[in-house]
Structure 1
Amino acid sequence: MDLGVTLSSDPSFALQALAFVLGGALLGTLSGLTPGLHANNFALILAGMAPLVPGPPLLVGAAMLSAGVVHTFLDVVPALALGVPDADMAVMALPGHRLVLEGRGYEALRLSAMGSALAVVFAVPLAIPITLVMVEAWPTLVEHMALVLGTVVAIMLLTENSLSGLVGGLLAFSISGLLGVAALDLDPAAPLHGDILAPLFAGLFGAPILVDAMGGDGIPEQTDDTITIPRRAVLLPAAAGAVAGAVVGYLPGVSSAIAAVIALLALPGSSGDRGFVIATSGVNTANTIFALFALVALGAPRTGVLVAVERAEVPLNLPVLLSAVAIAAAIGFVLVLVVGDWYLRAIGTVDYAKLCVVILCLLVGLSYLFAGAVGVVVFLVSALIGFVPTRFGANRVHLMGVLIVPIGLWYY
């Protein structure tokens, strides 16, 4: 396996590389803090502009990875601050939202930052041995990919603890899968780079949370930022999240939330909402590292950022790109603590219903920018489907059928 490793000790190149990484971190900060806007969108725009950017393609790739990593740290901030339902709906809320409703939003931010940072620490040494194993196993996985994805779906459905949740999960998976089959092949004309995934995910996962939150009281007063679980309860979910990140990095259609749920099932005892926040954040960040190795070893980009890296014909120099990931992770960790607390306080002072309407309008606007009028229609249809799991008391991760079904059919 050629990992593309070359070393250099050029101070001017190092300074130039740092400037690109910082620029990417700024883009990742903007995308991470903006609901519905993903680092993938910035990466695809960068890929299209790569020939016009003054600098080597390798450093453009470093900026893309930096944006993606910082985004994985900061996307928890709007996820916690926006779409928090009324206390009476806490049972249907996501784990992070439940912590905010309990006044533990600052703690949730720190748990997320720790999960992401520890995932980088665990993932880097694990990446090479896991990649070597995956290179050997990949032909067999490809041959049985439909079965592998079907097994993942079955495990997810079996995590539902009620008949209603099981029915709702199956219904959400089926309908979102049909939506994915119908929408993913669309190539809409749009003001920006065509990206049908933006309205799909904004509708499925963003709009329903905001609509349900409009009748709530917004963010309650948050208490102190003390981590209330023992160190072991932080390390285990983070390690599990890092390993699960390999699954996301190599298996198409498997989301961070799905991998986190499966990872937590393997842990002794229950980590609760805090463990889920740690593991999901860990999966999300570790995924970038494993996806980079997957691209180097298998030529298979598994994230939008890595697709953009491939399109921009970025040289796969692992020391430089992994250094960019490490620096971006340090920046992201600090930003979560600094910006996250301020974000929660600021959101808590505004009219929550009006804020939800503004964010919904923003999502409609982004859908149009990235997919034109077709994107707006896809967003509205996706939003309706996005209400299905919560109305049955099921987990929202079943909506990932939007990717799993089309990918499974393609491999089948």
Structure 2
Amino acid sequence: YATTSHIPPQNEDWTLPPAKPLLVPCFWSGVAGASMGVLPGMTASQATVLVMGGRNVAAKVQGKEGFGMDWETRRLTEMTDEELLEIALSEAEGGVEGPQTKQDLEVIAILSAVNTAVTVMVLGFLYIIGRSRSGATLALKMMYPIDTWSSAEPTADFVRLIAVTVAAGLMAMPIMRVVGKGMLRLHAAIPLQQMVMGVIIFVSALVWFTTGFIGIGVLIIGTILGLIPPRVGIRRSHGMGIIIVPIMIYTFSQAQDAFGFL
């Protein structure tokens, strides 16, 4: 369906997948997300790349196969659009979960675990040393003074923020099951091609109004870089260095605080 202009048929009668096969990926995702959350310039994206790379290596050692593995991505470039569409249709209509479906579930679980771990760690780091590690914590720091965690007991603000984070996660699960089915019907009613064009126009206008010609130039270069990986048989995450390396060169020239961070 990556080569068509419509969304594949959606099954509204779905249930949550079993949790047991996802425990190990979620655990390592939490560890990676927590590690990235305390490092400057590192986000959930880098943690996800690390976890996905480790998952692929473990799958290769175990002799697993299936589209989506890093060492099999190049094989997709050798297949025609008709062959790719036939594989997607057979898996969607077969009623049996194929390797791609199971990998998609792992990816969703990994992303969720990484983002949760990063959110908790950046909040903790904000109250421990008073430094921001994400845009949300930077905005929080600008809104009101942060009471730094300087004793054995956490501050009241930190406890409240953690409680809100946990409560939001518990509330999101039942809401997602109800709202998700409605979103499936909404997406099926909207032509995919028009929706994609609308998003492109909106993003381009937003970049133009906020950053001008420089932002448009970066957007064009980033778009070109995003089109290259599928055609050469690699993942788009491998192109993240185009942004990471210039940021590292810039930050290395800045002054560091007592903790070694900016």
Fold equivalence (TM over 0.5): yes
Identify which range, 283-292 or 266-275, moves more after superposition: 266-275
Q: 1:47 corresponds to which residue?
A: none
Distance in 1 separating the partners of 2:40 and 2:238: 15
Q: Does 1:85 align with 2:2?
A: yes
Q: Does 1:363 align with 2:203?
A: yes
Query: Highest CA radius of gyration, 1 or 2?
Result: 2
Matched-pair contact (CA < 8 Å) for 1:368–1:376: yes
Q: 2:176 corresponds to which residue?
A: 336
Q: CA deviation at 1:266?
A: 4.9
Q: Percent identity?
A: 27
Q: CA RMSD in A?
A: 2.5
Q: CA deviation at 1:288?
A: 0.8
Distance in 2 separating the partners of 1:220 and 1:325: 34
Q: 2:31 corresponds to which residue?
A: 243
Matched-pair contact (CA < 8 Å) for 1:389–1:396: yes
1:109-124 matches, within 5 Å, as none
Deviations 1:241-271 (A, max 9, x none): 2211112212234342432342355566577
Residue number among 244, 252, 259 corresponding to 1:411 in the alignment: 252
Residue number among 275, 285, 307 corresponding to 2:106 in the alignment: 275
TM-score by length of 2: 0.66
Amino acid at match of 2:50: I
Identify which range, 401-410 or 282-291, moves more after superposition: 401-410
Q: CA deviation at 1:361?
A: 0.6
Cα 1:357/1:266, change in 2 over 3 Å: closer
Q: Does 1:218 align with 2:135?
A: no
SS at match of 2:8: coil
Matched-pair contact (CA < 8 Å) for 1:85–1:218: no
SS at match of 1:284: helix
Amino acid at match of 1:85: A
Matched-pair contact (CA < 8 Å) for 1:261–1:276: no
Distance in 2 separating the partners of 1:358 and 1:288: 30
Q: 1:310 corresponds to which residue?
A: 141
Cα 1:381/1:233, change in 2 over 3 Å: same
Deviations 1:290-335 (A, max 9, x none): 0111222233311110111122234342112112212222333344
User: Hey, which of these two has a bigger chunk of helix by percent?
Assistant: 1
Q: How many residues align?
A: 199
Deviations 1:112-164 (A, max 9, x none): xxxxxxxxxxxxxxxxxxxxxxxxxxxxxxxxxxxxxxxxxxxxxxxxxxxxx
Q: 2:51 corresponds to which residue?
A: 263
Any unmatched runs of 5+ in structure 1?
Answer: 1-83, 87-215
Amino acid at match of 1:272: Q
Distance in 2 separating the partners of 1:373 and 1:335: 41
Cα 1:400/1:335, change in 2 over 3 Å: farther
Matched-pair contact (CA < 8 Å) for 2:130–2:146: no
Distance in 2 separating the partners of 1:280 and 1:337: 18
